[in-house]
Amino acid sequence: QVQLVESGGGLVQAGGSLRLSCAASGRTFSGYGMGWFRQAPGKEREFVAAINSMRTATRYKDSVKGRFTISRDNAKNTVYLQMNSLKPDDTAVYYCAASKGLSAVAVEYDYWGQGTQVTVSS
């Protein structure tokens, strides 16, 4: 079992930055790939970024490449999402999730956090 708790969301102006954190509990955090997803009002949940268990591979949604960076610290059982050059379109609830691979597909994730709100004003 893995329990996930996100933090770091908030209100920021366009062009600003935020760093989201996701703290995991459970002995097997280092064995899971971790992902970030987001869901805006009236829209489906979408993939944002993922990192594999050994930090050797990452993948990103095209629209966030070059602006967002996913990282993890297995010693601290934490995964991060550094978000720079934020745009109003980035406004959403952001969720972290754990899977056995490096997937961009939500159904392949076994565990989910409760989400943290990110609001980008224009």
For residue 28, the model assigns a pLDDT of: 81
Taken in order 5, 8, 10, 16, the sign of the CA dihedral is negative
In the predicted model, what is the mean pLDDT of residues 85-109?
A: 96
- Sign of the Cα torsion 106, 110, 114, 116 reads negative
Q: Is the confidence at residue 27, as pLDDT, over 90?
A: no
